[in-house]
Chain A
């Protein structure tokens, strides 16, 4: 059974960089696309971007200037960095899997709440 687990600081100061890591267990990291999705408290879902195990990425244009997604296949991990954060970036961040580049999300992590506050 594939499991995804987010990890990283739960509190980030404004203007700093949010960093999260997703660890994949129970399945291969190759041959899949790995995504980040966020959900502000009480609001809907926003796709941030994805990465193939080869390192090829796709980003949401609304966040592209601030987002970097990377993968470390040897550690079965992929990561998210979001720079210059503001309170509007406070959200639960989910890591997810898709089989194809443009596809549905079949596995989700439990989510990590990141609060942006001084």
Chain B
């Protein structure tokens, strides 16, 4: 299985901050990576696919980059609605695997 490792596990930030979450794959996955946002009691929501493509309806303050084994999710200016847990997911090969999650907290 391809292991996905996110860092940090927890991130404290303020409204207006620029934040970056990193996701590393245990082997190359090209750009077959997605990012999801999950709020308590809700299903994950797709933000980014193919490493850098923004899902329709997702605010442009979210962006993704990377290829191979290292990827980043950046939120350019944090809004109150962005405080949530974020997961990366590889779909290069079966079984699909997720990172352990990064909880974005209000500082």
Residues of chain A within 8 A of B49, CB atoms compared: 104, 106
Of the four ranges (under 10, 10 to 19, 20 to 34, 35 or more), the interface on chain A belongs to 10 to 19
Closest to A48 in B: B95
For B93, list chain A residues within 8 Å (CB): 102
Residues in A with CB closer than 8 Å to B95 are 47, 60-62
**Chain B residues at the A interface, C-beta cutoff of 8 Å:** 1, 32, 34, 36, 42-46, 49-50, 55, 87, 89, 91-101
* Residues A108 and B91 in contact, CB atoms below 8 Å apart: no
Which A residues form the contact surface with B (CB < 8 A)? Answer: 44-47, 58, 60-62, 94, 98, 102-106, 108-111
Residues of B within 8 A of A47 (CB): 95-98
Q: List 26 A-B contacts (CB under 8 A).
A: A44-B87, A44-B100, A45-B87, A46-B98, A47-B95, A47-B96, A47-B97, A47-B98, A60-B94, A60-B95, A61-B95, A94-B43, A94-B44, A102-B32, A102-B92, A102-B93, A102-B94, A104-B46, A104-B49, A105-B36, A105-B46, A106-B46, A108-B44, A108-B45, A110-B42, A111-B43
**Residues of B with C-beta under 8 A to A110:** 42-43
| Inter-chain contacts of A109 with B (CB < 8 A) | 43
Q: Which residue of A lies closest to B34 (CB)?
A: A104
Assuming the contacts A104-B34, A104-B49, A106-B55, asked whether A45 and B91 have C-beta atoms less than 8 A apart, the reply is no
Tell whether, in the assembled complex, residue B91 and residue A104 are in contact, meaning their CB atoms are under 8 Å apart.
Answer: yes
Inter-chain CA distance A45–B45, complex, in Å, is 13
Q: Are B92 and A104 in contact, with the CB atoms below 8 A?
A: no
Q: Which residue of B lies closest to A111 (CB)?
A: B43
Q: Compute how far the CA of A102 lies from the CA of B97 in the bound complex, rounded to whole angstroms.
A: 11
| Chain B: CB-nearest residue to A35 | B96
A104 to B97, CA, bound (A): 11
